[in-house]
Amino acid sequence: MEVVSTKAKLKAVLEDIRWDKSVGFVPTMGAFHDGHLSLFRAAQKRGDVVVASLYVNPTQFGLGEDYGRYPRNLERDRTLAEEQGVDVLFVPGDKEIYPKGTPHTWVRVDGLEDKLCGKYRPGHFRAVATVVAKLFHIIAPDRAYFGEKDYQQILVIERMVRDLDFPVKVVRCPTARDADGVAMSSRNVYLSGKERAAAPVLHRALSHGKSLAQNGETSSTKIGKSMERVLSEEPMCKPQYVGVYDGDNLDELNGKLRGKVLLAVAAHFGKSRLVDSIALRVG
Ligand code: AMP
């Protein structure tokens, strides 16, 4: 595995590789867990040369968020990436990505970036879209792999790719979970023992909503209320939002479920904020 930290070196490495192979790209912020590794494996399975980026992008963190304490462990990540067969690990510094400081040009995806998490993290999704656009230009991948764990992020990236004609195929990968249903996340290390023990309530609530829908309940309000009830049984869980949304445009559903539906939740456990969701198709 090659570890490179500059765009120039990365371009040179990829030029040698790409003439007869497809490039699969997995953008990450590091602190790898099996969710990340499943994306690497998905890229490998398709026969791509696997390029992963590891960059804790400062612009996507809001004031008072966890940029400073975000878990960083390059040596461990490097070993895990190598073991999973990643071919190139791109680890740029801030000067490489933002040589002139904070950008003046942003990619904004209207209609998607202000909903769900966007309401509580203003500016987050435009920063994600912008850094992913930059990484797409730098790497020029054939395919890019994203986790459904961050469902809103996938929709934002897919829309950006369509609207701006990026020549890349976005591949959705399923959420990797611990045995008790908790979605793997680099942020789970922040949880105290008690908070971690309480965290499965998110998946319990979503699974409850899903089984109601699969058993014929078509009222989004009833499903939303039932998920709220499950969450309220866990005193450590402080929900920020929970609901039933259109799986394409993230509008809150107020009526009958139909087509692509997203059950989604964000909640605080102490100081940590966790998000989770389940996508389903109804009818
Ligand atoms: P992050 O390092 O948290 O920015 O995540 C990098 C990529 O890994 C994103 O596409 C995430 O959606 C994906 N990812 C994070 N957690 C999981 C998970 N539990 N299962 C699948 N993909 C994940």
What region does 106 belong to: left with phi over 0, alpha with psi -120 to 50, or beta?
A: beta
CB atoms within 10 A of CB 72: 13
Phi, psi of 156 (to 5 degrees): -60, -45
Let me know: does 232 contact 250? Beta carbons within 8 Å.
no
pTM here is 0.98
Minimum-distance ligand 1 atom for the alpha carbon of 185: 16
HSE-CB for 24 with a 13 A CA cutoff:
19
- Which two three-digit tokens encode residue 186? 């680099």
Let me know: does 243 contact 224? Beta carbons within 8 Å.
yes
- The closest of 229, 20, 220, 50 to 139, measured between CA atoms, is 50
Dist CA 264 CA 272 (whole Å): 17
- Which two three-digit tokens encode residue 4? 């490179």
Let me know: does 70 contact 186? Beta carbons within 8 Å.
yes
Residue nearest to atom 6 of ligand 1 (CA): 28
User: Percent of the chain scored above 90 by pLDDT?
Assistant: 98
Ligand 1 in reach of 184 Cβ (< 6 A):
yes
Can you give the pLDDT at residue 265?
98
Ligand 1 in reach of 126 Cβ (< 6 A):
no
In sequence order, what DSSP letters do the residues of 236-282 get, joined into one string? TEEEEEEEEEETTT-PBP-SB--EEEEEEEEEEETTEEEEEEEEEEE
Ligand 1 in reach of 277 Cβ (< 6 A):
no
Q: What digits encode the pLDDT tens for the residues 183-213? A: 999 999 999 999 999 999 999 999 999 999 9
The rounded Å distance from CA 176 to ligand 1 centre is 9
Beta-strand runs (E) in the chain: 2-4, 23-28, 49-54, 88-90, 143-147, 169-173, 237-246, 259-269, 272-282
Ligand 1 in reach of 29 Cβ (< 6 A):
yes
104 assigned to active site? no
Ligand 1 in reach of 28 Cβ (< 6 A):
yes
Residue 217 has pLDDT above 90, yes or no: yes
The CA–CA distances, whole Å, from 135 to 96, 118, 142, 144 equal 11, 22, 13, 10
Residue 282 has pLDDT above 90, yes or no: yes
Can you give the pLDDT at residue 198?
98
Q: What digits encode the pLDDT tens for the residues 50-99? A: 999 999 999 999 999 999 999 999 999 999 999 999 999 999 999 999 99
HSE-CB for 271 with a 13 A CA cutoff:
7
CA dihedral 42, 126, 110, 245 (to 10 degrees): 50
- Which two three-digit tokens encode residue 57? 């992008």
Q: Name the strand (E) or helix (H) holding 160.
A: helix 151-163
Residue nearest to atom 18 of ligand 1 (CA): 35
Let me know: does 112 contact 124? Beta carbons within 8 Å.
no
Where does the pLDDT of residue 283 fall: very low under 50, low under 70, confident under 90, or very high at 90 and above? confident
Minimum-distance ligand 1 atom for the alpha carbon of 175: 20
